[in-house]
Amino acid sequence: MAEENKSPQAAASKPSAAGKSKPPAAEAAPAKAGAAGKAKPVPAKSAPERKGVYKPAEGRAEANPFKDSRTGAVESWFQERFALLNPIIDYLRKKEVPRHRLSFWYYFGGLTLFFFSIQIITGLLLLLYYRPTEAEAFARFVYIQTEVPYGWLIRQVHAWSANLMVLMAFIHMFSTFFMKAYRKPRELMWVSGFVLLILTLGFGFTGYLLPWNELAYFATQIGTEVPKVVPGGEFLVRVLRGGEEVGGETLTRMFAMHVVLLPGLVLLFLSGHLFLVQVLGTSSPIGYKEAGLIKGYEKFFPDFVAKDGIAWLIGFGLLIYLAVVFPWEIGVKADPLSAAPDGIKPEWYFWAQFQLLKDLKFEGGELLAIIIFTIGAIVWILVPFMDKKASREERSPLFTILGLLVLAFMIIGTFRVYLEYGW
Ligand code: HEM
């Protein structure tokens, strides 16, 4: 490609180089003179300069620098039209990814990205039929599910892909944590990644209410109440709900956050995250290089990208299987005047936090839970700056223990809610 890359530029430079050496009229004149024998060379007459006549400035870029290059081959066609991207493609071709026994975990960031792309596509399709009002939301979901051609599939894929995206983001976060991939100079990859996780959870929270069914209604009621115990939290609750209670205003706000605010923020942070991934490259686990555990390096493009593609295909197969075989129920329409049914619980990815809130059911317990979450999140986001040993490429068992404790908290809490409430 490098060779082919050069050809358009080289071709581009030829006409101007020829143009600079001698004006064509001057070249033609001696030839004629030679033919006539001793006749004196006639100096070439340059056209008299006339004012107001367009004359290209010297050194002006050639209007079509690619006019002499080979066309027809698909690759060169694209190279010529998107010549600006050539350095980026070259860079990606040079980039390499280390191969070792933990390489498997490198696929989860890409899988998170894949399920996010599915969310954007299916979300746009759902938007064609959905209406975010108290009166219509539930009916529109029933309509999409039963009347719109393939509407059921799109809705199921959107719901399952959301769950898979969250799951992949968690696996990606813990795998990068235990490989200490956050260490210098990748601190901002960790920080931007953590923000992405919070935004991903925000998608789940705001999307849950959109079908306007009973379960979602009461779960949102409980979820939006949590900040109340914090000083000034009443204000936040009102902002989230658009009033004192969960109602039509809440639905409009959740909808706006779900389809405008959160996608915008995710795109912003994702661009930063992926830019850093490309610029800083992929890390290898601490001590692997020194211990000779790196089996070699593979080209990011096309080798790693092709393997990423295989992971995406497997993910896609799983997604369609789940969407067809285990469809999500729509439930019954929310009735704000009815009493909350038993067994109201949030989505599974909030179960660990939900369990802690339940465990601390005493005076001031909720506030304590919020303080624990807030301090926990701050410590978690600052891990790359605190783990100095990892930044010096030394093992840091204390942080591994911290990661194991957080993982255990998540798994045990989730499992306890499952045992009590079922799926
Ligand atoms: C929407 C969510 C996310 C997406 C789409 C995403 C995407 C990616 C991709 C494609 C990579 C490169 C391949 C790989 O190493 O897996 C990557 C690397 C990385 N991500 Fe994420 N990520 C997300 C969330 C997170 C979270 C929650 C964290 C941690 C809090 C995180 C931290 C990192 C780190 C530290 C790396 C560098 C890995 C290395 O160099 O070895 N990311 N991310």
Domains along the chain with CATH numbers:
93-421 (1.20.810.10)
Taking the CA of residue 179 as reference, the ligand 1 atom at the shortest distance is 41
Tell whether ligand 1 has an atom less than 6 A from the beta carbon of residue 203. Answer: no
The Cα–Cα gap between 371 and 404 comes to 21
In the chain the first and final C-alpha atoms are separated, in Å, by 53
Amino acid at 270: L
Query: What's residue 86's pLDDT?
Result: 84
SS3 47: coil
Cα(88)–Cα(67) distance, rounded to whole angstroms? 24
| pLDDT, position 59 | 65
Helix axes 151-178, 305-325, angle to 10 degrees: 130
Q: How far is the CA of 269 from the centre of ligand 1 (A)?
A: 11
pLDDT confidence of residue 88? 86
| Ligand 1, atom 22, residue with closest C-alpha | 109
Q: Which residues of 344-357 are buried (b: 16+ CB within 10 A; e: fewer)?
A: bbbbbbbbbbbbbb
69: left (phi over 0), alpha (psi -120 to 50) or beta: beta
Neighbours of 52 (CB within 10 A): 4
Q: How far is CA 49 from CA 28, 55, 56, in A?
A: 21, 10, 13
pLDDT, position 61 = 66
- The pTM assigned to this predicted structure is 0.83
Q: Ligand 1, residues 176, 284, 297: which to mutate, most atoms within 8 A of Cβ?
A: 176
Give the per-residue pLDDT at 174. Answer: 98
Query: According to the model, what pLDDT value does residue 5 have?
Result: 40
The alpha carbon of residue 188 and the mean position of all alpha carbons in its chain are separated, in whole angstroms, by 15
pLDDT for 4 equals 38
Quick one: pLDDT at residue 30?
43
Nearest CA to ligand 1 atom 30: 194
Q: Report the residue count for the chain.
A: 423
The ligand 1 atom at the shortest distance from the C-alpha of residue 113 is 5
Q: Is the CB of 119 under 6 A from ligand 1?
A: no
Residue 269 CB less than 6 A away from ligand 1: no
Residue 104 Cα, ligand 1 centroid: separation in angstroms?
Answer: 14
Ligand 1 atom 17: the closest Cα is on which residue?
109
pLDDT at 28: 42
pLDDT tens per residue, the chain (423 residues)? 333 344 444 443 444 433 344 444 444 444 444 444 445 555 555 556 666 666 666 666 666 666 666 656 787 788 778 888 888 888 888 899 999 999 999 999 999 999 999 999 999 999 999 999 999 999 999 999 999 999 999 999 999 999 999 999 999 999 999 999 999 999 999 999 999 999 999 999 999 999 999 999 999 999 999 999 898 899 999 999 999 999 999 999 999 999 999 999 999 999 999 999 999 999 999 999 999 999 999 999 889 999 999 999 999 999 999 999 999 999 999 998 888 888 889 999 999 999 999 999 899 999 999 999 999 999 999 999 999 999 999 999 999 999 999 999 999 999 999 999 988
Distance 259 CA to ligand 1 centre (A): 23
pLDDT reported for residue 56: 61
Q: How many angstroms separate the most distant Cα atoms in the chain?
A: 116
Q: Is 285 in the pocket of ligand 1 (CB under 6 A)?
A: no
| Residues in a beta bridge with 97 | 298
Atom 8 of ligand 1, residue of closest alpha carbon: 109
Rounded to whole angstroms, the Cα distance separating 160 from 319 reads 7
Does 110 sit in the ligand 1 pocket, CB within 6 Å? yes
Cα(419) to centroid(ligand 1), Å: 31
- In this predicted structure, what is the pLDDT of residue 46? 58
